[in-house]
Structure 1
Amino acid sequence: MSGQATVLVVDDEIRSLESLKRVLSEEFEVICAKDAGEARRVLESEIVHAILCDQRMQHETGVDFLKHVREVWPDPVRMIISGYSDSEDIIAGINEAGIYQYIAKPWHPDKLLDSVRGAVQLFRLQKETETAGIDMKLTPERVKRVVTEKRGAAQQLFDFDRIVHAPDSPLRDVIELGRRAADFDISVLITGESGTGKELLARAIHYGSSRSAKAFVVENCGALPDELLESELFGCKKGAFTGAYQDRIGLFEVADGGTIFLDEIGETSPAFQVKLLRVLQESEIRPLGAQRVRKVDVRVVAATNRDLEAEVRAGRFRRDLYYRLAAFPLHMPALRERPMDIPLIARRVLDEVSKAYGRAVHGIAPDALSRMQCYDWPGNVRELQNEIQRMVVLADNGQLEDRDLSPRIRSSGAPITLRNGHGNGHHNGHGNGHSVGATLKTQIEALERLMITEALDRHGGNISRVAGELGLSRVGLRNKLGRYDLRKGVSRDG
C-alpha cells in the first residue's frame, strides 16, 4: 500500500471543512485550515501534495490565496471549490493561480475523491518527470502520457534479456537470480566493481517486478554530504538548512509504490546509516524541517563496489543496515572474468555508436577483437564502451582495426596469430605466443576463436567442411559460433 498523500483543505465554514475532511480522510492525510493565514503557516512547516480551497472566504478569496501559493510553494496541485459559478473567478483561477480543477458545490463524495486522487497522481507524475530530466511545462494529460510512454520504453529497454552475455558466461546465473528476486518484494544488494552494470541489473529487477508501473529513481550516495543526501532522499522544508531555498520532495516519496536505487551505499557515513536504517525499518520518512512523518512504500535496491562484509567487520558499516539491505545479495562479475562476453558486448556497442555517430562501421577485425579479449579492462564494460567510441571515430575502412586500439590495450598483450592452422604467434619480441597479463583460459579462447575464423575463411563459411577440419561435430561447431559471435561468417549451405 502506497503512503498517504497530504491534502490541505482551506474553508472558513466549519461544517463544510468537517464534511470535506470526513470524506477525504478515507484515503488521504487531511490538514484543515480555517483561513488563508492558517493555511500559510501549514505550508511553511509541512510538505503538501494538493490544496483544496474555498473560493469565497472572509479576508481573502481562494484565487488570491492560491496565486500567492503558486509563487511561494509551487509544488502542491491547487483546486478551487465553490458554490458560485462566476466565470471571472474561474478564468482568474486558471490563468493566475494555475488551478488544476474547479469543483462546484454541492459536491458528490465519489466525484470529490476522484478529483483529489487525480491531483495527487499529477503531483507524483510531475515529480517523476523532474527526476527523469524532463524540463517542460506540461498539461496534466500530457504529463500522464509522457510518463506512461517513458515507462513503456524503459520496460523494453531494461529487460533482463537485453543484458548482453554469452551462454557460458558467469553473468548468466546472476541474471537468473535477478529474475527470481524481481518476483518478490525483497531488498537486493548488488556488489561488483565500477562499470560492471550494477544499475542495469537494478533497472531490470524493477521493470521485471510488479512495481514496474511506478517510478524507478536513482541516487548516488557517495556524491553528496550527509545533509544534502538527507534532503535528496527524505525531502526538506524551505530554510531547513543553509542552501534549502525551497521545499523539496524526497526521492523516497517520488519512488512511492516503486523502486529506489541507492548506488555507492558503502560510501555513506555511520550517522546517515542510522537514519536510513530507521526509514527501512519503519517505512516512513520525515523531511528535514517538517513536523510530520510520511509513510512510504518503496523497494530498495542498493549497490556498492566495496566489500561490505569487510566494512562491517571493520566497524565502518552498520551490521543491522547491511542485513536489512542484503536480504538478497547479487554479485556482478568483472569483465576480465567473462572474456566470452566481450565480442557480444563490443558488437552491441559498435552498432549503437555507429548509428549515433552516423558512421558506416560494421565490423571488428579478428586481431583487434582477440586483443580486446586479452586485456584486463579495469574499467569494465564502461571502459569497453569508451574504447569502442574512440575506435569508431578513428576507423577508416568500415571496421575496427587493431591499429585503432588505444596504446594501453595494444601494449597489454599481442593477439595470437595463426598460419596454416598452426600457432606461430609472438609477443613484443618473445617467441612463446602468449599475451602478458592474460589467463590461460583467455589465451585458449582467443586461439580457438581465431582457428575457427580462419577455417571459415578458407571454406567460405561451409559448416560441414570447417567442422571436419577442426575435428568437431556440426552441433559443437554451431555452439562455438554462437559463443564467439561468428554466425555471420556461415554460408547457407553450411
Structure 2
Amino acid sequence: MTDRAGIIVVDDEINIRNALVTVLSKQGYDVRGVGSGEEALEELTRCGAELVITDLKMPGVGGIEFIRRLKAAWPETEVVVMTAYGSIDTAVEAMRSGAYDYLTKPIDRERFPLVVTKALERRALANENKQLRDRLETRVRYDQMVGESEPMQRVYSLVEMVADSGVTVLLTGESGTGKELVARAIHHKSARADGPFVTLNCGALPENLFESELFGYEKGAFTGATTTKVGRFELADNGTLLLDEIGELSLKSQVDFLRVLETKEFRRLGGTKVIKVDARIVAATNRNLEEAVKQGDFREDLYYRLNVVPIRLPPLRERGEDIPLLAERFLREFSAQHHRDLKEISRDVMRLMRLYAWPGNIRQLRNLMERLVITVKEPAIQPEHLPEEIQASQEHARTMVVTLGTSLNDIEREAIRRTLAEVVNHREKAAKLLGISLRALQYKIKEYGIRE
C-alpha cells in the first residue's frame, strides 16, 4: 500500500488486542490498540482512522454508546464489532447504530482479513464518491454543463470568446453530446442573457411548416389561420435563436432562411409589414455539412454564413475522464427526482463505463443512470446491474475505432486514456502495454491533460 490505512483496535483484553494489532500490522496497516471507548475517541480526535474494530463489552462507555458517539463525530469511519457467539442480537443492534459488520469471538482467522478488507474498500469507495461530489459542485459550469477534460476545456474557452461577440455560431457533434446546453451557455454568458432563448427543431418540421414556424403568419393567411401567430425568429428579438438540426432543412427553406440571416428582416406569411429583428443565431447539427455541400444537399453560401465560429462537441468516448462526474451528477438528479436513497457507484462499474464507447453519448449515460436509480435496490451499483453491452465493454477495451480525419494527437490521447482505464491507472503497466517508457507516458499524460 502506498498510503497505509489507519485502524484502531478497541478491546480491554490486552492479549486479544495485541494479537489483532500484530496480525493487521503484518498486513501493512497502520494499527493502534486501545483499551476503552474513551481512549478510542481520544485517538480518533488526535489522528483519525479509516476503520475501528471494537469489542462491545468494555468498562466505561459501552460498545453501543461508543459506536453512536463515533458515528456522530466521524460518520465516514467504518466500524466492525466483536462479540461473543451468544450475543448476536447485540451485534445486530450495533449495526443499526452504524457498524458495518461484526465478528464473533473467538475470531475466525480466515474471515477476519476479509471483513477488514471489505470495510476498508467501503470506506475508500465512500471517500471517492464524496470527492466526486465535491468536484462536481465546482465543475458544473455554463448552465449545467459538466466536465473538466481537455476537450471540454476547449469548448469552455470558445464559449467565453464568442459569448459577447454576437457572431453566428455553428455547433457540431454527434447526437446526445449536449449542443443545446452549449447554446444556452453562450446565451446566458452574453449581453443578451436577459432576453429570450428560443429553439426551433428544423428536423421535426415538414417543409411547408418551416416558414410559418420561423416567421409566423397573419390572420387569414391560409385556411385555418384564424389568428395571427408570431414566429420563432420574432420571439427571439434581443435574444438568441437556436436552430437545431439545421442540416435537415430543405433547399427551399435554406434559401428562405439565408435571406433573413443576411438582412435580419422578414414578413409574416400573408403580411406586408417588414419586421426587423435583432436575434443572435446559433445553429446545431449532427451532420457533416461540408460533405452535404459537396453532395448538393446543403447550400454553400448558407454554410459559410453559419460557420463563422464553429464549436465541435466531443463525443463521450473522447472525454472518458468526465464520465464519473456526469454519472454522479445524474445519479443525484434522479435520486432526488424519484425520492430514492443516493447510491454509490462501485469502482468496477466506473471502470466499465469508462471503457464503453457510448454511441448515444451523454443522453445514453443519463438514461442509464435514471434506470439504475429505479431498478437497483442495493446501496452500491455493481457490474451485474449494468446492461450486457456495457458489461462486455472490457472484452473490446483493446479495440479502437478511428474516424477518418482524426488527428494523430487525438488518436494518441485516446489510446493512452483507454489503456490507463484498462489497467486502473497503473502507469507502469500502461507504459508497458503502450511500448513506451514510464517517463514518456508521464510526459504525455501531462501534455494531453489526461485526468486519472
* Same structural fold, with TM-score higher than 0.5 when normalized by the shorter chain: yes
CA contact 1:361–1:400 (8 Å) conserved in 2: no
Deviation at 1:442, TM superposition (A): 4.2
Tell whether 2:380 aligns with 1:405: no
CA apart distance, 1:244: 3.0
Alignment of 1:18-417 (within 5 A): 159-160=141-142, 162-166=144-148, 168-411=149-392, 413-414=393-394
Letter in 2 for 1:374: L
8 Å CA contact retained: 1:374, 1:437: no
* Matches of 1:357 and 1:193, distance apart in 2: 29
Cα 1:203–1:261 change in 2 (3 A) is same
Q: Kindly tell me: are residues 204 and 161 of structure 1, through their superposed partners in 2, closer, same or farther at Cα, counting changes over 3 Å?
A: closer
In structure 1, the residue matched to 2:419 is: 444
Distance in 1 (CA, whole Å) between partners of 2:140 and 2:451 is: 23
Contact 2:420 2:426 in 1 (8 A): no
Q: Summarize deviations over 1:28-79 as a string: whole Å, max 9, x none.
A: xxxxxxxxxxxxxxxxxxxxxxxxxxxxxxxxxxxxxxxxxxxxxxxxxxxx
Change in CA separation of 1:407 and 1:273 when aligned onto 2, cut-off 3 Å: same
Q: Residues 160 and 179 of structure 1 are in contact (CA less than 8 Å); yes or no, is this contact kept in structure 2?
A: no
Does the CA contact (< 8 Å) of 2:199 and 2:244 recur in 1?
A: yes
1:176 to partner: Cα distance: 0.5
Given the superposition, is the C-alpha separation of residues 450 and 405 from structure 1 closer, same or farther in structure 2, using an over 3 Å criterion?
Answer: farther
Residues in 2 aligned to 1:444 and 1:242: alpha-carbon distance in whole angstroms:
63
- Relative to structure 1, the CA distance from residue 250 to residue 318 in structure 2 (aligned partners, 3 Å threshold; closer, same or farther) is same
Distance 1:271 1:434, change over 3 A: closer
Q: Quickly say closer, same or farther: Cα 1:361–1:159, change in 2 above 3 A.
A: closer
- Secondary structure of the residue aligned to 1:170 is helix
Unaligned runs of 5+ in 2: 1-138, 402-413, 428-437, 440-444
Confirm or deny: 8 A CA contact 2:251 2:299 kept in the other structure: yes
**Cα offset, 1:210, TM superposition:** 0.4
C-alpha spacing 1:434/1:483, structure 2 compared with 1 (3 Å): closer
The aligned residue for residue 104 of structure 2 is none
Structure 1 residue 391: deviation in Å? 1.1
8 Å contact from structure 2 (residues 143, 184) kept in 1: no
**SS of structure 2 residue aligned to 1:303:** strand
Following superposition, the deviation at residue 361 of structure 1 comes to 2.5
Superposed CA deviations along residues 160-187 of structure 1, whole A, max 9, x for unmatched, are 2742112x43121121011100020100
Cα distance between partner residues in 2 of 1:223 and 1:257: 25
Amino acid of the structure 1 residue aligned with 2:370: Q
Superposition TM-score, scaled by structure 2 size: 0.59
Aligned partner of 1:205: which letter?
Answer: I
Aligned 8 A contact 1:342 1:372 in 2: yes
Structure 2 residue aligned with 1:47:
none
| Cα shift at 1:312 | 1.1
2:140–2:147 Cα contact (<8 Å) kept: no
Deviations 1:245-289 (A, max 9, x none): 421101111110110000000000010111101111111121111
Contact 1:374–1:442, Cα closer than 8 Å, also in 2: no
Superposed CA offset, 1:211-239 (max 9, x none): 11100000101101122121111011233
Cα pair 1:216 1:255 within 8 Å, conserved: yes
Alpha-carbon distance in 1 for matches of 2:177, 2:242: 16
User: Percent identity over the alignment?
Assistant: 46
- What root-mean-square deviation, in Å, do the aligned CA atoms of Structure 1 and Structure 2 show? 3.1
Contact 1:374 1:435 in 2 (8 A): no
What is the Cα deviation at residue 437 of structure 1? 5.7
SS of equivalent to 1:300: strand
Total equivalences in the alignment: 289
Task: Name the stretch that deviates more: 389-398 or 269-278.
Answer: 389-398
Indicate if the aligned counterparts of 2:140 and 2:146 stay in contact, CA closer than 8 A. no
| CA distance in structure 2 between the aligned counterparts of 1:434 and 1:227, rounded to whole angstroms | 47
Distance 2:338 2:346 in 1: 20
Tell me how far apart the structure 2 counterparts of residues 434 and 232 of structure 1 sit (CA, whole Å): 46
SS at match of 1:302: strand
Distance in 1 separating the partners of 2:417 and 2:451: 14
Letter in 2 for 1:355: A
| Structure 2 contact 239–279 (Cα < 8 Å) conserved | yes
Q: Is the 8 A contact 2:397 2:422 kept in 1?
A: no
Residues 72-111 of structure 1, C-alpha deviations (whole Å, 9 max, x = no match):
xxxxxxxxxxxxxxxxxxxxxxxxxxxxxxxxxxxxxxxx
